[in-house]
Amino acid sequence: MRTALLAVHVLVSVGWNGVAFAQLVLASTAAADAGLRHSAYELMHVVDRVLNIPLALLALTTGVVISVKTRWGLLRHWWVATKLVITVVAVILGSSMMRPLVVRAGHATDGGEVAYAAPTVAIILGASVMNVLFITATVLSIAKPWGKTPRGRRAMRRAGAAPLSTRPGLPASSAPLATASAATGSGDPVLPTIVAVPLGP
């Protein structure tokens, strides 16, 4: 189940990134070619409705579920938390800024009107920001930088403080023991010491 969910998340994330790149290409085409301007904006609007919205929601949903169901946790590692923020920002940016700009551009260029410079630049900038966000999220997924958040460190300390015999998959008889008689050379019996091994996620 986890493998299937991860595959879906990767596919929809790559698809969402592809949509953002296609939007940037179409926005650049609209700015460069007055004859294709209206058609490019109309196609951007269709791509947004058919692909962008479903892929954005699927990427956000599957990402949250995978984080909660795996050892990474949703807010235990900085790279996961940062990717969550990036995804939410991308969803808000796409729905509240890009979509209204594209719809307005399509209406403004209907009927052959081509004098639409300022919103054209805004659309290109918005599409560029979306691509930067997706590239950053991809790099974070590969590099996994910055370690644990305070929440993650607290969870690790709680796991390390739990009795060994109560940890899942670890029987009581497996607690490692050590004696100091060999190290001191005294030959006197020394009580065994439990060696606590911190268990990370």
Q: What is the pLDDT of residues 72-87, one digit of tens each?
A: 888 899 999 999 999 9
The yes-or-no verdict on residue 177 having pLDDT over 70 is: no
The residue written with tokens 């609007």 in the block is 45
* pLDDT number for residue 147: 92
Assigned fold of 2-152: Four Helix Bundle (Hemerythrin (Met), subunit A) (1.20.120)
User: Range with the lowest mean pLDDT among 40-44, 93-97, 108-112, 169-173?
Assistant: 169-173
Provide the pLDDT confidence category of residue 11 given band limits of 50, 70 and 90.
very high
Confidence of residue 13 (pLDDT cuts 50, 70, 90): very high
The pLDDT score that the predictor gives to residue 139 is: 95
Query: Which pLDDT does position 162 carry in this prediction?
Result: 52
Looking at residue 165, what DSSP letter applies? G
For the chain, the domains span 2-152, 167-201
CA separation, residue 92 to residues 96, 105, 184 (Å): 6, 19, 66
Give the pLDDT score at 107.
Answer: 86
User: Phi and psi at residue 187, in whole multiples of 5°?
Assistant: 80, -5
Q: What are 144-168's pLDDT values in tens digits?
A: 999 999 988 988 888 876 544 444 4
Mean pLDDT of the residues in the chain: 80
